[in-house]
Amino acid sequence: MTTLQGLYRPKTVAEATALLAQDPDAKPLAGGATLVAMLNAHVLEPAALVSLADIDEIKGISTMPDGRVRIGAFTRHRDTAACTLRLGSCAVVPHAASQIANATVRNMGTIGGSISFADPGLDYPPALVAAKAEIEIASAEGRRVLPASGFFVDWYLTALEPGEMVTAVYLPPNDGGVGTYVKHARVAGDYATASIAACMRGDGRLSVAVGACGPTPLSDPEADAVLSEGRSDASVARAAQILVEHADPLDDVRGSADYRRQLIPRLLLRAVRTLEAAPRSAA
């Protein structure tokens, strides 16, 4: 193992992962929206950066032969937000992308950089968990795929091992359903104080995930089952109660833990009523 120094610009995933294998302390550099701020603040001082900007394979959004949608890790938030593919309930993902920060950050940041950073207040993680997305990870040894629910491990901690990088996010095929992302922030452009990502599939089943109310996106099969069986105010309140019981929010500048718990039922009700009113996309 050698120690790298400086900025490297690989053109393929194989070249990038070979560099990361040589020196696990080298950091992938994507949009730089978060990493460059951390470098400026001396929070991180890696000797080497591996820029992902020249790797075409990890850019853009495409439909796979099996109907899944692949979002390359280096796809900017603005491009994900503007995706015009029919995504069914996975439309929650571009809807979340459209609510990230402001146009400047959406022009810089990438989906791979966002989920690798794994701040609990980010907008993609709950959307990817509710959508039942999968994350593709590459290393010098090969590739592996994890469900989004298994990728986010703890506060700012993902399943990425040293020498690994995210290469893509896969969304399930269009199910003819609808998806929505409801975010509550102190001011426009801020990280979420709390958020709800909600997907209603073509057959009426629901899956939801709560953001910014614990170390990782919070989802619960019992809450999903309650919402899939009925969506009266009482059913939504029952599902919200289950989620509140499992929430583990922090007190911080964006709101107290108690305030965040109080937001969950309100945001969930808004999300469910939005889904019911939304036009379905044909599968």
Ligand X SMILES: Cc1cc2nc3c(=O)[nH]c(=O)nc-3n(C[C@H](O)[C@H](O)[C@H](O)COP(=O)(O)OP(=O)(O)OC[C@H]3O[C@@H](n4cnc5c(N)ncnc54)[C@H](O)[C@@H]3O)c2cc1C
Residues forming contacts to ligand X in the complex (CB under 6 A) are 27-35, 37, 52, 73, 100-101, 105, 108-110, 112-114, 116-117, 122-124, 160, 165-166, 191
Residue 3 token pair: 């120690």
SS (H, E, C) 179-191: EEEEEECCCCCCC
Nearest approach, Cβ of 70 to ligand X (angstroms)?
A: 14
| Residue 256 main-chain phi, psi, to 5 deg | -80, 165
Of residues 52 and 131, the one with the C-beta less far from ligand X? 52
Of residues 91 and 227, the one with the C-beta less far from ligand X? 91
- Cα angle 127, 71, 79 (rounded to 5 degrees) comes to 85
Of residues 170 and 191, the one with the C-beta less far from ligand X? 191
Helix (H) or strand (E) run with residue 153 in it = strand 152-154
- Cα angle 199, 204, 209 (rounded to 5 degrees) comes to 25
Of residues 226 and 271, the one with the C-beta less far from ligand X? 271
Calpha distance 261→273 (Å, rounded): 20
Nearest approach, Cβ of 206 to ligand X (angstroms)?
A: 23
